[in-house]
A and B are shown apart, each in its own frame.
Chain A
Amino acid sequence: MTRSSRRLTRLLAAATVATTLAACGGGDDGGGGGGGGGGENEASDVGITEDTIKLGAHYPLTGVAAPGYSEIPTGVQAYFDHVNANGGVYDRQIEYVYRDDAYNPTNTSAVVNQLVLEDEVFAVVGGLGTPTHSAVLEFLNSERVPDLFVSSGSRLWGETPEDYPYTFGWQTDYVSEGKILGQYIAENLPDAKVGLFLQDDDLGADGESGLREYIDDQIVEVQSYVPGNTDVGPQIAALQAAGADVVVGFNVPSYTALSQLVSLRLGYQPQWFYSNVGSDPTLVGSLLANFSQGQVTDATLLDGAITTEYFPGTDSPDDPWVQMFQQIWDEQGQEGELTTFRLYGMAQAYTTVQALQAAGQNPTRDDLVAAIEQVGADWEGPLFAPFRYSEDSHMGTSGMRVVQVAGAAVEELTPVLTTDLGDAEIEESDREAATPPENGIPDEEAAD
């Protein structure tokens, strides 16, 4: 037990939150260790005052990557507003600053400099994109700024915590997703000829490496597209020519719609698999819906496509978590519908609040990191599978389930499966679905 966390425990003993009090009863009541007056909020580190805590993020709000992704921070904001309206975290209001990097690493570097050096945020939360966030990985770690829950499934964010001790992943990594999809195909479609449709970056490469763990010999054709070039006709034509009757796409949503349109044009009808990043049936459906008003007679082009989920999306409106977030969005959100992008942001904000609670009443930046390593793996929330956080891994959630799109909803094909990088086995998750808290705010004890 570190000095600072002992101090935290003692501070918490006087905290007003009933459950935290209960927790401390069983814990250490604090011996020597760091000082700190009982129960008063202090400005314990950069970005924290007695009544505020400042968090920052970078997202593409303008430019090519803005569509869709720019909605995520509005979800985060709505959730933080909800928490603030209910007293904040340890009576601190969360100030959330997000800045535009236009999905350009040069800009990311500039805006994260601004967040850290000028806005003086306590932590960066949910920075989006692999190339963009790569640009600030070194900087955030050298400045010792917690870099939580990066919005990307690259393994950079968690595979080597010894190199980047302040950075944490959040969503299921693309390798694990590839493995889970690969196993599903190997078991259920063992004779299929598989074609891959990949984005030409880590999304595609990691996904492919996961898939090859299981269906290396079934893959007959690999085609990749470069983000920004919207003409994927040649790629789909090549998959068709190779005779692939199953196509697995590791791509972003717009390219799901594009690949469907091109396939329609080519009369190509394989069994489609899409990675979670690219599937979102509601979004893709709404993209394609406009065409159905025109001449596409089949309203749900995506019907029957198989994908994965690691948190309930807008396609599961009956899920209690979705209902909870829907209610919060209706009360706090800006204009517009609750989309899966916004849900993503809200779920991420939920995890962030869990982390802040676990870090204790007057945390330092290091306390926050220590708390996530210590108790992050036990958190329950909207995500189906637990996080893999520990001192040895900062990888995010470990699993997902395979689902099939049916109209505007999805049907489960497998239970929640968990796995890890490398040759880790795929196992069924034994965790029960968590029940959302009454007031929509998690209630984590401070780690000790």
Chain B
Amino acid sequence: MTQPPDTPVVSTGEISSEAPVQATAAANAPTASAGGGRSFLPANTLLRHLLVLVACAVGAVVLLEITDPFTNSQLAQLTYYAIAAGGLTVLTGLNGQISLGHGALMAVGAYTTALMLDADEPLPLPVVLLAAVALATVVGALVGVAAARLHGPYLAGATLALAVGLPGLAVYYGDLFGGEQGLRVRAPRAPESFESFIDLVSGNPPSATKWLAYVGTICLLITFFLLANLVRSRIGRTWRAVRDQEVAAELAGINLGAWRVLAFVVSAACAGLAGGVLALVVRLAAPSGFTLVLSLALLTAIVIGGLGSLVGVLLGSALLVFLPPFVTDLGADLGLNSTEAAQLAPFVYGLVLVVVMIFAPAGVVGTIRMRWLTARARRAARGAGS
């Protein structure tokens, strides 16, 4: 699914003096969301999120049914990027820790899923995915404990080594993990209820691709619903405190290390789920699918969209999925041969990263928010002056 129909997931309230000049602007928003005076949504956070969730679900179904099968498969891709990036944006945006290693955590989820589905009588899919989440959580906790002591580039270096190091285990224990070739994943067939649901909604053929897109979307919606509630809870506030006011937080009796580990665990759980969805959608868990490129792509998604913002994550993930084929096709239309056109995609992708960071350093969502807030402040000032 792409951007949900009604955008104010990060509904804005009174942002007073907290000038959103940094990339973290979007991340700060939820702090002040409680009393959104103008919002038509209910004041109760949980209730509001439930309404948004339902709206998003409806929007997602509409989107999946009006688009062609190929777009369905691209949307399925988008879901696993977004799930992992959603967790990462909590870690980086809210808690301030950078991770270049979430691709490795996705690998944990993907291999768990592949191995469990390979059993003679595989467990139901939700159980398998939960197991993927559980295992990634455990690994995430271990990494998180080590990471909590590190800062900035040291943390980046350690997680970078994690991203390139962990897939090596899959090769070393080739008998279990299938070595370089990896494990092929037989995604469970869609239940009959799904087929009748699709028949009822649109009458489209309920293909395997569509089923996997729905699985991804359901996981995405659940993840984002939980994350949205989490960041607006006491836990989210504490994370922001740990990020922004380390000393003050420590003085207030907050155990910095424990909270950092918790943030890492939450994001690892998301990465595990994303890995499980990836294994289903790609139909394979192989080391070459979890290169450093994947970890860097996730980082790109959260920063381009706007750090700390779930809507931004969706935008960023959409960029990852839709930009390369778009550029390649554009190149082919311009008369380049396939090889040249293929080289064009990473080139443009790299340029977009640089340009966005220079001209919209707060990410897409952050920049739009900033514009909007500035405009409102001006209006308010004018109103006060007259």
Query: Across the interface, do A134 and B284 meet the contact criterion of CB distance under 8 Å?
Result: yes
B345 at the interface (CB under 8 A from A): yes
User: Which B residues from 327 to 386 make CB contacts under 8 A with A?
Assistant: 328, 337-339, 342-343, 345-346
Q: A100-B328, A104-B289, A105-B288 are in contact. Are A110 and B77 (CB under 8 A)?
A: yes
Query: Across the interface, do B73 and A113 meet the contact criterion of CB distance under 8 Å?
Result: yes
B238 at the interface (CB under 8 A from A): no
Q: Interface digits, B166-201 against A, CB 8 Å rule (1 contact, 0 not)?
A: 001001001000011110111000000000000000
Query: Across the interface, do B338 and A200 meet the contact criterion of CB distance under 8 Å?
Result: no
B208 at the interface (CB under 8 A from A): yes
Complex Cα distance, B180 from A226, in Å, reads 9
Query: Across the interface, do A110 and B291 meet the contact criterion of CB distance under 8 Å?
Result: no
Residues of B within 8 A of A334 (CB): 337
Q: Interface digits, A293-333 against B, CB 8 Å rule (1 contact, 0 not)?
A: 00000000000000000000000000000000000000000
A436 at the interface (CB under 8 A from B): no
Q: A106-B282, A109-B282, A117-B69 are in contact. Are A70 and B180 (CB under 8 A)?
A: no
Closest to A70 in B: B339
B3 at the interface (CB under 8 A from A): no
Query: Across the interface, do B342 and A138 meet the contact criterion of CB distance under 8 Å?
Result: no
Query: Across the interface, do A117 and B339 meet the contact criterion of CB distance under 8 Å?
Result: no
B68 at the interface (CB under 8 A from A): yes
Q: A105-B286, A134-B284 are in contact. Are A110 and B73 (CB under 8 A)?
A: yes
Query: Across the interface, do B338 and A97 meet the contact criterion of CB distance under 8 Å?
Result: yes
B283 at the interface (CB under 8 A from A): yes
Residues of A within 8 A of B337 (CB): 74, 77, 334
| Chain B nearest Cβ from A396, distance in angstroms | 18
B46 at the interface (CB under 8 A from A): no
A104's partner among B68, B278, B288, B328 (CB-CB below 8 A) is B288
| Chain B nearest Cβ from A291, distance in angstroms | 27
B70 at the interface (CB under 8 A from A): yes
Query: Across the interface, do A131 and B70 meet the contact criterion of CB distance under 8 Å?
Result: no
Complex Cα distance, B164 from A130, in Å, reads 21
| Chain B nearest Cβ from A45, distance in angstroms | 17
Query: Across the interface, do A138 and B184 meet the contact criterion of CB distance under 8 Å?
Result: yes
Residues of B within 8 A of A110 (CB): 73-74, 77, 321, 325
Residues of A within 8 A of B283 (CB): 109, 135-139
| Chain A nearest Cβ from B146, distance in angstroms | 25
Q: A104-B293, A131-B288, A200-B171 are in contact. Are A99 and B282 (CB under 8 A)?
A: no
Complex Cα distance, B286 from A319, in Å, reads 40
Complex Cα distance, B121 from A340, in Å, reads 47
Residues of B within 8 A of A118 (CB): 68, 70
B281 at the interface (CB under 8 A from A): yes
Q: Interface digits, B1-30 against A, CB 8 Å rule (1 contact, 0 not)?
A: 000000000000000000000000000000
Count of CB-CB pairs between chains A and B under 8 Å: 112
A201 at the interface (CB under 8 A from B): yes
| Chain A nearest Cβ from B139, distance in angstroms | 20
A131's partner among B74, B174, B180 (CB-CB below 8 A) is B180
Query: Across the interface, do B180 and A138 meet the contact criterion of CB distance under 8 Å?
Result: no
B294 at the interface (CB under 8 A from A): yes
| Chain B nearest Cβ from A339, distance in angstroms | 14
Query: Across the interface, do B338 and A100 meet the contact criterion of CB distance under 8 Å?
Result: yes
Complex Cα distance, B325 from A110, in Å, reads 10
B33 at the interface (CB under 8 A from A): no
User: Which B residues from 135 to 155 make CB contacts under 8 A with A?
Assistant: none
| Chain A nearest Cβ from B350, distance in angstroms | 12
Q: A114-B70, A138-B184 are in contact. Are A200 and B342 (CB under 8 A)?
A: no
| Chain A nearest Cβ from B213, distance in angstroms | 11
B31 at the interface (CB under 8 A from A): no
Residues of B within 8 A of A139 (CB): 208, 283
Query: Across the interface, do A73 and B339 meet the contact criterion of CB distance under 8 Å?
Result: yes
Closest to A136 in B: B283
B45 at the interface (CB under 8 A from A): no
Query: Across the interface, do A109 and B281 meet the contact criterion of CB distance under 8 Å?
Result: yes
Closest to B325 in A: A114
| Chain B nearest Cβ from A316, distance in angstroms | 27
Residues of A within 8 A of B186 (CB): 138
A208 at the interface (CB under 8 A from B): no
A271 at the interface (CB under 8 A from B): no
Residues of B within 8 A of A70 (CB): 339
Q: Interface digits, A108-125 against B, CB 8 Å rule (1 contact, 0 not)?
A: 011101100110000000
Closest to A203 in B: B180
Closest to B339 in A: A61
| Chain B nearest Cβ from A11, distance in angstroms | 29
Complex Cα distance, B140 from A101, in Å, reads 30
Residues of B within 8 A of A100 (CB): 328, 338-339, 342, 345
Query: Across the interface, do B286 and A99 meet the contact criterion of CB distance under 8 Å?
Result: no
A380 at the interface (CB under 8 A from B): no
A117's partner among B73, B179, B287, B345 (CB-CB below 8 A) is B73
Residues of A within 8 A of B171 (CB): 200, 226
B209 at the interface (CB under 8 A from A): yes
Closest to B338 in A: A98
| Chain A nearest Cβ from B284, distance in angstroms | 4
Query: Across the interface, do A61 and B281 meet the contact criterion of CB distance under 8 Å?
Result: no
Complex Cα distance, B338 from A74, in Å, reads 9
Residues of B within 8 A of A103 (CB): 288
| Chain B nearest Cβ from A264, distance in angstroms | 28
A227 at the interface (CB under 8 A from B): yes
A–B complex contacts, Cβ < 8 Å, 20 sampled: A61-B339, A61-B342, A97-B338, A105-B282, A106-B282, A113-B70, A113-B73, A113-B209, A118-B68, A132-B288, A135-B184, A135-B289, A138-B283, A200-B180, A201-B181, A202-B179, A202-B181, A226-B171, A226-B180, A227-B180
- Hey, which bits of chain B sit against chain A, CB under 8 A? 68-70, 72-74, 77, 168, 171, 174, 179-182, 184-186, 208-209, 278, 281-284, 286-289, 291, 293-294, 321, 325, 328, 337-339, 342-343, 345-346
Given contacts A136-B283, A202-B181, 10 further A-B contacts (CB under 8 A): A74-B339, A109-B281, A109-B283, A110-B321, A114-B325, A118-B68, A135-B289, A138-B185, A138-B283, A205-B179
Nearest 10 Cβ contacts at the A-B interface = A100-B342, A201-B180, A117-B70, A61-B342, A118-B70, A135-B284, A113-B73, A109-B282, A117-B69, A106-B289
